[in-house]
């Protein structure tokens, strides 16, 4: 497998409006990509297409060697998505939610318990792991959501504003699980390029028309340029 993600002329329309238009991209296994852009530039749409949750309107999409949407079944379970929603049931505890997801991903009971305990400890949630999600703060819910995202050890991480609601300690703990150190392929969407640019290999700026405004190595884009690119793309 030469590329983890390959997009050619990707297009996605909502009615008559194009959320993504002629997006081309190649990302090698283990590489990290930062996606920047103003609100409505199609960043979340891009992540949902890569996660197999949304069908493209046109173009070619290959993720982890599978052509989407036709071969989506081949890559489900190899992708971890951390989106705007925590994807946690509010009336179950964090631990119960993680057990549920472990079973959906075919992880055996004993292995799941060990993995869940490790992950909850890693995000500082061991003490609150048995509390109902509805009783947790937004930051704590995000910590459990990060555990859910990596529970099944995915090869590809799709992260939409992963730091949202996290305090400084939470961000540091999360970085250990979903940061660049583990060598997974990552696509990261954030409005805060300052911290993210140090953690990624490549950057992609999308405009409000859903087209690529700039694609470059992350090192070629400093935070001020990134902000300018976002502001420019918004016009």
For another protein, the binding residues (CB under 8 A) are 48, 51-55, 73, 76-77, 79, 81, 83, 85-92, 96, 100-101, 103-106, 148
Smaller CB separation from another protein, 109 or 217: 109
Smaller CB separation from another protein, 86 or 178: 86
Query: β-pairing, 156-160 with 79-82?
Result: parallel
Beta strands in the chain (DSSP E): 5-14, 17-27, 32-36, 58-63, 66-68, 79-82, 156-160, 185-189, 202-206, 212-217
Phi, psi of 219 (to 5 degrees): -65, -20
- In whole angstroms, the minimum distance from the beta carbon of 77 to another protein comes to 3
Which residues lie closer than 8 Å to 31 by C-beta, 6 or more apart?
A: 4, 185, 186, 201, 202
Smaller CB separation from another protein, 48 or 202: 48
- In whole angstroms, the minimum distance from the beta carbon of 3 to another protein comes to 21
Smaller CB separation from another protein, 71 or 201: 71
Smaller CB separation from another protein, 69 or 232: 69
CB 17 within 8 A of CB 54: no
Q: Cα 74 vs. chain centroid, distance in angstroms?
A: 19
Three-class secondary structure of residue 158 per DSSP: strand
- In whole angstroms, the minimum distance from the beta carbon of 132 to another protein comes to 8
Three-class secondary structure of residue 209 per DSSP: coil
- In whole angstroms, the minimum distance from the beta carbon of 86 to another protein comes to 7
- In whole angstroms, the minimum distance from the beta carbon of 128 to another protein comes to 18
């Amino acid at each position: 497998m030469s590329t983890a993600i390959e997009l050619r002329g990707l297009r996605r329309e909502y009615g008559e409006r194009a959320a993504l238009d002629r997006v081309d991209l190649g990302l090698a296994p283990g590489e990290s990509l930062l996606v920047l852009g103003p609100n409505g530039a199609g960043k979340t749409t891009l992540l949902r297409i890569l996660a197999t949750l949304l069908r493209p309107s046109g173009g070619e999409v290959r993720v982890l060697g599978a052509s989407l949407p036709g071969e989506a079944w081949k890559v489900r379970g190899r992708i971890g998505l951390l989106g705007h929603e925590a994807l946690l049931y509010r009336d179950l505890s964090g631990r119960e939610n993680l057990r549920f997801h472990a079973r959906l991903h075919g992880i055996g009971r004993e292995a799941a318990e060990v993995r869940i305990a490790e992950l909850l400890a890693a995000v500082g949630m061991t003490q609150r792991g048995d509390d109902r999600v509805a009783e947790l703060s937004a930051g704590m819910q995000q910590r459990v959501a990060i555990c859910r995202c990596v529970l099944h050890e995915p090869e590809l991480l799709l992260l939409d504003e992963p730091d949202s609601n996290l305090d400084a300690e939470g961000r540091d703990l999360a970085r250990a699980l979903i940061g660049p150190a583990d060598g997974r392929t990552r696509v990261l969407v954030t409005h805060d390029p300052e911290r993210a640019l140090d953690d990624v290999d490549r950057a992609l700026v999308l405009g409000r028309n859903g087209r690529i405004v700039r694609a470059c190595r992350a090192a070629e884009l400093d935070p001020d340029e990134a902000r300018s690119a976002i502001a420019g793309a918004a016009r």
